[in-house]
């Protein structure tokens, strides 16, 4: 377990906290058992580590572990959690739970047997708690992390701070919303730059057009 603590400290130290996904402010972190599912690369691990780095004790009370670690080929999750609690653990962050064969049943047992332990776990968007072997649907509070939105992309790449806009707000006040956006950025320019990069990555070769040439008719944006 000592090696897992070392890995946990290293990951917590390295994780950036400047940019956070929208879900960070929507999760009720006080719940005893929290599940976050989403597609690969959506940012689940980063979200987990950011929460731990900013709000949890940076000592033996907190431990991050990925269940695809070789440690779990020889040790059960139940025994691991028990040892963690004996050593003073209070906050257990489990990543990639779907990599562990009996994850739902053992999480259920841990939840029932360790009432003072708080657990946050992440898993594939394909996991269905109510269909799992151990029924966690009545115990876990589940959230789904969607892919990066264009709003989040702008905040991440341009340093903006655009807040979410509901569909109703957009219908009622779309002109004002658009004016606020173009005061800060040139949406078309950013879109074409992103398109240029994405196309190059997909085709694995230079493309024939340049972003600059596409922007000439829109220099006023």
**Per-residue H/E/C for 175-216:** HHHHHHHHCCCCHHHHHHHHHHHHHHHHHCCCCCCCHHHHHH
Residues in the chain: 221
Per-residue pLDDT reduced to its tens digit, 157-180: 888 888 888 888 888 888 887 777
Mean residue pLDDT across the chain: 83
Residue 216 has a pLDDT of 46
Residue 195 has a pLDDT of 56
Residue 218 has a pLDDT of 38
Cite the beta strand spans of 29-151 per DSSP E: 33-38, 62-66, 91-95, 118-124, 141-145
Residue 197 has a pLDDT of 57
Residue 191 has a pLDDT of 60
Q: Which residues of the chain have pLDDT under 70?
A: 127-134, 187-221
CB contact set of 54 (below 8 Å; sequence gap of 6+): 17
- Please report, to the nearest 10 degrees, the dihedral formed by the alpha carbons of residues 81, 83, 89, 95 taken in order: -30
């Amino acid at each position: 377990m000592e090696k897992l603590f070392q890995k946990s400290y290293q990951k917590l130290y390295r994780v950036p906290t400047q940019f956070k996904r929208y879900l960070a402010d929507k999760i009720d972190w006080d719940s005893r058992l929290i599940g976050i599912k989403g597609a690969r690369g959506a940012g689940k691990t980063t979200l987990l580590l950011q929460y731990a780095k900013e709000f949890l004790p940076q000592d033996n009370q907190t431990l991050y572990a990925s269940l695809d670690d070789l440690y779990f080929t020889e040790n059960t999750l139940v025994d691991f959690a028990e040892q963690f609690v004996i050593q003073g653990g209070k906050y257990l962050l489990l990543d990639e739970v779907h990599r562990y064969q009996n994850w739902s049943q053992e999480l259920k047992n841990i939840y029932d047997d360790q009432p003072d332990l708080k657990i946050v776990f992440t898993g594939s968007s394909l996991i269905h708690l109510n269909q799992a072997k151990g029924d966690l649907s009545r115990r876990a509070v589940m959230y789904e992390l969607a892919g990066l939105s264009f709003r989040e992309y702008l905040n991440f790449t341009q340093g903006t701070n655009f807040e979410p806009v509901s569909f109703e707000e957009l219908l009622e006040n779309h002109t004002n919303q658009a004016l606020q956006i173009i005061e800060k950025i040139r949406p078309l320019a950013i879109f074409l730059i992103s398109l240029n990069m994405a196309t190059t990555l997909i085709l694995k070769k230079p493309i024939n057009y340049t972003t600059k040439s596409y922007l000439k008719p829109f220099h006023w944006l």
